[in-house]
Amino acid sequence: MDFSQSKTKECLARAFAGVCQDGARYQFISKSALSEGYSYIADQLKTIAKNKMAHASVLYNLMLKNMEDGGDNVTIEAGYPFESQLLRTSLQDSSEIEKNEGKNIFPHFAKIAQDEGFEEIENALTLISEVNIRNAEKLAFLAQKFDDGTLYSDDKINTWTCSNCGHSEEKKEAWDKCPLCSYPQGYVVIPEE
């Protein structure tokens, strides 16, 4: 199959555009989280943004590698979600977006690459879809804790750690202000279940 005539080329371009836009969106949400005082969550979102740009780099390089006529414009048509940047809603919205990318969009693109014989592209798209599914789970977990008001409390004893100074304590609720560095509660690492 000639790459320039393939559906894989368009899928790769759409995937690239999608992860770039995701990367931008996570940077915006991370800033919102920081301004709302949720520093640890802001760091998590910043990490996802960084992951997205790494995915963008992989996809971009695959495009260049397969294009005989590098530098070509690739025209795509794709929908893109514009969601609220408020942390309360964006965690759940982002989880749904990641889930859709991980379970539907990227596997669909990977199948097209497989059918057309582009194994390296299929593999990258599949591995990215797996990251998206893990992101979806992580964001859904944070969204649930946020909605329940249990980000910093639990009905069982947890190890709470300050992401700034590393101080930690085992108790049911995290501190309002770190006893060591005085940084606020938003810096507390939210234990994953």
State the Cα–Cα distance between residues 169 and 179, nearest whole angstrom.
10
Can you read off the two tokens belonging to residue 38? 């949720």
Q: Does 34 bind Fe ion (CB under 5 A)?
A: no
| Cβ proximity to Fe ion, 58 vs 174, nearer residue | 174
SS3 per-residue string spanning 138-175: HHHHHHHHHHHCCCCEEEEEEEEEECCCCCEEEEEECC
The footprint of Fe ion on residues 152-171 (CB under 5 A) is 162, 164-165, 167
Of the candidate residues 180, 184, 186, 189, the single one contacting Fe ion (CB under 5 A)? 180
If residue 188 lies in a helix (H) or strand (E), which one and from where to where? strand 188-189
Of the candidate residues 24, 64, 86, 181, the single one contacting Fe ion (CB under 5 A)? 181
- Smallest gap from Cβ 175 to Fe ion, in A, equals 9
State the Cα–Cα distance between residues 171 and 126, nearest whole angstrom.
40
* x/- track of binding to Fe ion for residues 104-143 (CB under 5 A): ----------------------------------------
- Smallest gap from Cβ 154 to Fe ion, in A, equals 19
| Cβ proximity to Fe ion, 140 vs 180, nearer residue | 180
- Smallest gap from Cβ 188 to Fe ion, in A, equals 9
- Smallest gap from Cβ 190 to Fe ion, in A, equals 15
If residue 114 lies in a helix (H) or strand (E), which one and from where to where? helix 106-115
| Cβ proximity to Fe ion, 12 vs 174, nearer residue | 174
Backbone angles phi, psi at 159, to 5 degrees: -95, 115
| Cβ proximity to Fe ion, 141 vs 183, nearer residue | 183
Angle between helices 87-100 and 7-35 (to 10 degrees): 160
| Cβ proximity to Fe ion, 61 vs 182, nearer residue | 182
Question: For the chain, what is the total number of helices (H) and then of strands (E)?
Answer: 5, 3
Contact residues toward Fe ion (CB under 5 A) are 162, 164-165, 167, 178, 180-181, 183
